[in-house]
Structure 1
Amino acid sequence: MPKPLTVGIAACSSEGAALCYRTICARAAQFLGAHAHPDIVLHSSSLAEYVGALERGDLPGVAQLMLHCAHRLAAAGADFVICPDNTIHAAFALMRDASPLPWLHIAQVVAAEAKRRGVRQAAILGTEWLMASDVYPSVLSKFGIPCQVPEPSERSEIGRIIMDELVNGVQEPASVQYLQDIIARMKERGCDCAILGCTELPIVLGDANSSLPTLDSTRLLADAALQHAISHCNSMSAAQP
């Protein structure tokens, strides 16, 4: 059987990258056999470098960090790249054409699933940078799906919870309750789905404790990467006489 493509993970936060990595490994066995998964290589620049660039509003700087990561992953043998971090996709267009490897875009993966599920209006939760950006609105609009973000004061507190707590592995019950309350308010505002547009949010939120159905950007990206990697096997097998 042909070998799957090698997945390159461009990591930002350790929590989001670890969940994505574990998901690929855990779900691959059903397709590839017990204990099997595609080869995976991971590179991570310091999260502080990304945060510094975002705080300065320096998207070209974010793009350079992404490109640096792509070159390191290419040198390590990756065939394509995923980044389990929604926020830095704001710089995606600035680095895409210069990248030595193709990337799967996290928002495109999530938006395709939203369309498949028949979402009519999505609530976007993520970092302050993500919620202020066009990362999700621009992609969702191509699928004909409108979206809303929380109010400014709500966005500030969500961002604090993510950057001060979740990326550091801290899970405060009061903070989880706050996030649940936000989703409930977004439901009242007409949303029928909550996009967990931060790869740490699925650690504490999901369908079981949300008043809206959720779209888990971390696991959806992992699933898309797995399918992309093993689709190579299928195409190679089909080409063989």
Structure 2
Amino acid sequence: MKLIGLIGGMSPEATVIYYRLLNEAARARYGSLHSANLMLYALDYGVMIEHYDNRDWDAFNAEVVKGAKHLESAGVDAIVISSNTTHMAADAVKAAVAIPLIHMLDVLAETMTAAGAKSPLLLGTPVVMGGAYHRAELAKRYSGEVLVPAEEEQAAIGRIILDELVLGDVRDESRQELLAIVERHGADSVILGCTELCMILGQEHCDMPVFDTTGLHAAAAARFAFGEG
């Protein structure tokens, strides 16, 4: 099994999900006594969210790059950033280390294309939904039209993520609010474009296809670790 270098902490709740999914994949692949071969570099969420709030992307990226360099020095075989928003630092990481980065948007685009999704609705933090990076990077990989919620809806989604989910607070009324936003946009599918969104939404809550970036990304990391892709 190859050694995965996991950059976590954005948020700790999300990091726990990746850790669980990677270990479940290892047990399924090798047997119930096995676990994932990984090394974790956990960012300080308090520091990172301050950079996020200040839109200080140079400082934000520098913290992620520092983590990637530590993991490379420790001998990992690939880097996995366990956060949608933190993929804004992906290009900086790729420029700073010589080992592969398993990019979340690669597997998301491949899965949406294979599923025939034409107009998915992107949910995530306001920077993911309203910023240039994620939609531009998806456009390089995917030919469909990615829809985004209206500005006031983005603020509501951001509040649910940043004030509730990152603290492990999952509320049914917030789930209903998210589902109402999804219903208003005429999308043919929905992207859970924030790692914590899988805590509150899943395929069981929607009639349309749900693309859970957390599960898809963790599965791609597992395939790499097992030498299967």
Which region of structure 1 is more displaced relative to structure 2, 155-164 or 125-134?
Answer: 125-134
| Partners of 1:121 and 1:194 in 2: CA distance | 9
| Partners of 1:183 and 1:65 in 2: CA distance | 34
Match of 1:154 in 2: 153
1:184 and 1:211 in contact (8 A); partners too: no
Q: CA deviation at 1:90?
A: 1.8
Q: CA deviation at 1:147?
A: 0.5
Match of 1:92 in 2: 90
| Partners of 2:84 and 2:2 in 1: CA distance | 23
2:65 and 2:89 in contact (8 A); partners too: no
Q: Superposition pairs for residues 76-91 of structure 1, below 5 Å?
A: 76-91=74-89
Counterpart amino acid of residue 3 in structure 2: T
Match of 2:6 in 1: 9
Unmatched 5+ stretches in structure 1: 236-241
| Partners of 1:154 and 1:207 in 2: CA distance | 21
Match of 1:66 in 2: 64
Q: CA deviation at 1:100?
A: 4.8
| Partners of 2:48 and 2:144 in 1: CA distance | 29
| Partners of 1:227 and 1:166 in 2: CA distance | 28
| Partners of 1:185 and 1:20 in 2: CA distance | 31
1:10 and 1:43 in contact (8 A); partners too: yes
Match of 1:126 in 2: 124
Match of 1:139 in 2: 137
RMSD of Structure 2 on Structure 1 (CA): 1.6
Unmatched 5+ stretches in structure 2: none
| Partners of 1:134 and 1:112 in 2: CA distance | 20
Match of 1:39 among 4, 12, 37: 37
TM-score, normalising length: structure 2: 0.93
Counterpart amino acid of residue 94 in structure 2: R
Q: Are positions 1:50 and 2:11 aligned together?
A: no
Counterpart amino acid of residue 127 in structure 1: T
| Partners of 1:84 and 1:180 in 2: CA distance | 24
Match of 2:205 in 1: 209
2:149 and 2:181 in contact (8 A); partners too: yes
Q: CA deviation at 1:102?
A: 2.2
Q: Are positions 1:224 and 2:220 aligned together?
A: yes
Q: CA deviation at 1:112?
A: 1.2
3-state DSSP of counterpart to 1:102: coil
3-state DSSP of counterpart to 1:42: strand
3-state DSSP of counterpart to 1:120: coil
3-state DSSP of counterpart to 2:75: coil
2:69 and 2:96 in contact (8 A); partners too: no
Match of 2:99 in 1: 101
| Partners of 1:70 and 1:136 in 2: CA distance | 20
Which region of structure 1 is more displaced relative to structure 2, 164-173 or 94-103?
Answer: 94-103
Deviation track 1:191-219 (CA, whole Å, cap 9, x = no partner) reads 11100000000011011012421101111
What percentage of aligned pairs have identical amino acids?
29
Match of 1:192 in 2: 188
| Partners of 1:62 and 1:132 in 2: CA distance | 18
Q: CA deviation at 1:89?
A: 1.3
| Partners of 2:33 and 2:125 in 1: CA distance | 35
Aligned residues between the structures? 227
Counterpart amino acid of residue 143 in structure 2: G
| Partners of 2:36 and 2:23 in 1: CA distance | 8
